[in-house]
Amino acid sequence: MNVPTPTDTTALLELRDLCLSFQQRRQLAVDRVSLRITAGRSLGLVGASGSGKSSIARAILRLLEPDSGEILFRGEDMSRMNPRQLKSARQRIQLVFQDPSVSLSPRRTIRQTLLEPLEHFAIGDADYRRGKITRTLQTVGLGKSALERYPHQFSSGQQQRIAIARALVTNPELLIADEAVASLDVSIQAQILQLVQKLQRDFGITFLFISHDLAVIRQIADEVAVLYRGQLLEQSPADRFFSRPAHPYSRILLSYAVGENAPNRNTGQWSLERSRTASANTDKCVFAEFCPDKMAVCGNVEPVLSQLHDESQPVLGPHCVKCHLYDETASDEN
């Protein structure tokens, strides 16, 4: 298995100006998103529901066709791959969904469920497959006795372990977890997070971990990316993000998560209307309406996602913000 070392800084996955819309371009779900996932460094993708997190996950695997933009996996553009190439890429990128009771087939035994990806990608012979399945189950903390049972015979935590095992069985380099712990109890969630930490540590698997829960992201992400109404507002190394979030929206998100701040009437409304039309004018900041630090320029000019420069100490990975507060010409701190 190809285990990237933590010092390997090549981009495992890179999105360039990814756009995705629904309903004949009437609704823009992903709006010119560019981000980089470095091999061995897990990225936490946060944002309110409807901000485009899941659409990005699906677009990466081309389960949804993007309108435009590039999806580079190890430097190769997935949006231009032919079916055969795409299949091989999909073997190396696997997806874990939110609710295992829906994502596992109720009519298949665990053995059948875990065997299918191996057969689909034609990996190994019968002997290898048998061994691989047992080893993978062991990795996620389940015994051989699970093999002949059906999903309904397991608790929700065990079901999610099986869903993770199904994703792991093809030896992926990137695991996309789409709200993989959101439907679980806190105690079960803790067990799954422990498993994720183990996979990062022992197998060097890179995670794109999608969650609306910042505390969960804190546990496992090396970097954090913040989405708002389809746009990427900030990407930052986790330690920096949680000590000094740069974008006003990130600060508000973080203060909610700590529970120290309830939304006031105005800002609270943002979760109440979120769908945008593709023809929406791009001549202002998408967050300007609710931003506590709004300046005159925010309503007239769209900020560009740019690297923060005035770093007092060197940090791992890029720190990009899409906000006029950090324009070169403006003052650097608010």
Partner 1 sequence: MNTPALKVKNLSVWLASGSGRIPVVDGISFSINAGEATGLVGESGCGKTMTAKAIMGQLPVTGIGVSADAIEVEGRDIYKLKAGQKRAVLGRDIAMIFQQPATALDPVFTLGQQISAVYRRHCGGSRRQARQTMLEALRGVGFSQAEDIAGVYPHQLSGGMRQLAMIAMATVCKPAVIIADEPTTALDNSSRALILQQLRQLQTSRQTAILYISHDLSVVRQTCRDVMVMYCGRIMETADCQSLFSHPRHPYSAGLLACIPQLGKTRPAPIRSIPGQVPAAADLPAGCHFAPRCDRAVAQCRESVPELDASGGRGAACFRPL
Binding stretches for partner 1 (CB under 8 A): 47-50, 155-157, 185-191, 193-194, 197, 212-216, 218-219, 238-239, 242-243, 252-254, 256-259, 261-263, 265, 268, 270-272, 274
Q: Which is nearer to partner 1, 252 or 321 (CB)?
A: 252
Task: Report, in Å, the least distance between residue 203 CB and partner 1.
Answer: 16
Distance CA 33, CA 107 (A): 39
Spatial distance between the Cα atoms of 299 and 126, rounded to a whole number of angstroms: 62
Identify residue 134 by its one-letter amino acid code: T
C-beta of residue 39 within 8 angstroms of C-beta of residue 10: yes
**Of 172 and 245, which has the nearer Cβ to partner 1?**
245
Residue 85: CB minimum distance to partner 1, A: 36
Is residue 257 within 8 Å of 332, Cβ to Cβ? no
d(CA 274, CA 90): 31
- What minimum distance in Å lies between the beta carbon of 218 and partner 1? 5
Rounded to whole angstroms, the Cα distance separating 131 from 229 reads: 45
Angle at the Cα of 323 from the Cα atoms of 318 and 325, rounded to 5 degrees: 105
| Residue 256 CB, nearest approach to partner 1 (Å) | 5
Q: Which of residues 81 and 308 has its CB atom nearest to partner 1 in the complex?
A: 308
Considering the complex, what minimum distance in angstroms separates the CB of residue 131 from partner 1? 27
**Over the Cα atoms of the chain, what is R_g?**
21
Closer to partner 1 at the Cβ: 62 or 198? 198
Sheet of 206-210, strand order = 93-96, 174-178, 206-210, 43-46, 223-228, 231-237, 320-322, 305-307
Of 1 and 272, which has the nearer Cβ to partner 1? 272
